Amino acid sequence: MIFEAQPYPRVQVLEVGERATKILVVDGLMTGAAALVDHAAEVATLAPVKAGANFYPGVRAPAPPAYVQALVRTLRPHMTEVHGVPASGRAGVTCALSMATLPAAQATLVQRLPHIDTPDPRQLAVLHYLCGPEHGGTAFYRHRETGLEIIEESRARDYMLALTRQMSGPEVQPGYIRESTDLFEKIGAVEAAFDRIVVYPSRLLHAGLLPDAPVSQDPRAGRLTVNTFYRYEAA
């Protein structure tokens, strides 16, 4: 597989919510998207994440190292411009091929609601779609009771206490969240598109727009993405 920067990627910057949080959207960043799909279908072993280690509602496998290196190299200038990532220096990166395959009836409530990955302000989530819009994009939310869109460390305990109390109440709706509910207001969304990369702060409340019914587990037909967490060190 060869991953090289494309000469003319399409770059968009969206702003969501009252805090105008920036969402970076890049289409056609580098070559190799089709080869990644082939790798997922023919080489990778996609398996459920170990219980307790992650709440991802599906299966995952490590991404090819060449992809990870190329992604960081080609995407970093855009993350510097939009998200203030240092132009050089060390960063911690985890990256996995992922398929959301779990029907809503088998998912836990935590898996069905908006979430954050960490309250760390230096971590970004990088989502690379290797599927089309029919598989659902990603939406961003505000928690109505607390008014929070970004869960900072100083507010994480208050947020979790409020959400834990609400999770046992009548406001919780069945199925995966896709629109506004009694608990969460949808403040923005990005549609899935093949070879589209979306970058947003890991502490921004978000959720995949997943169907409730069972979906294909074939990487060539299902909701295949590459999910990367990029934690940069302060300059």
Structure tokens at 143: 């928690």
139 assigned to some structural domain:
yes
User: Domain tally for the chain?
Assistant: 1
156-186 confidence digits (pLDDT tens): 999 999 999 998 888 788 899 999 999 999 9
124 assigned to some structural domain:
yes
What CATH number did the domain enclosing 117 receive?
2.60.120.620
189 assigned to some structural domain:
yes
Residue 31, pLDDT score = 98
4 assigned to some structural domain:
no
204 assigned to some structural domain:
yes
Cβ-based neighbours of 138, under 8 Å, separated by 6 or more: 127, 189, 190, 192, 198, 206, 207, 208, 209
Residue 169, pLDDT score = 81
Residue 53, pLDDT score = 56
Residue 171, pLDDT score = 77
Residue 51, pLDDT score = 61
Residue 214, pLDDT score = 86
Q: CA 27 to CA 49: how far, in whole Å? A: 28
Amino acid at 76: R
User: What single string gives the DSSP state of each residue in the chain?
Assistant: ----B-SS-EEEEEEETTTTEEEEEEES-BS-HHHHHHHHHHT---EEPPTTT---SEEEEEPPHHHHHHHHHHHHHHHHHHH---SSS-EEEEEEEEEE---GGGS-HHHHS-B-S-S-TTEEEEEEE-S-GGG--EEEEEETTT--SB--HHHHHHHHHHHHHHTTSTTPPSS---S--SSEEEEEEE---TTEEEEEETTB-EEE---SS-----TTTS-EEEEEEEEEPP-
Sign of torsion, CA 92 70 208 214?
negative
What pLDDT tens digit does each residue of the chain (235 aa) get?
899 999 999 999 999 999 999 999 999 999 999 999 999 999 999 998 776 556 899 999 999 999 999 999 999 999 999 999 999 989 999 999 999 999 999 999 999 999 999 999 999 999 999 999 999 999 999 999 999 999 999 999 999 999 999 988 887 888 999 999 999 999 999 999 999 999 999 999 999 999 999 899 999 999 999 999 999 987 6
2 assigned to some structural domain:
no
111-124 confidence digits (pLDDT tens): 999 999 999 999 99
Residue 172, pLDDT score = 84
Residue 203, pLDDT score = 98
Residue 52, pLDDT score = 55
In terms of residue numbers, what domain contains 89?
10-232
3 assigned to some structural domain:
no
Residue 179, pLDDT score = 96
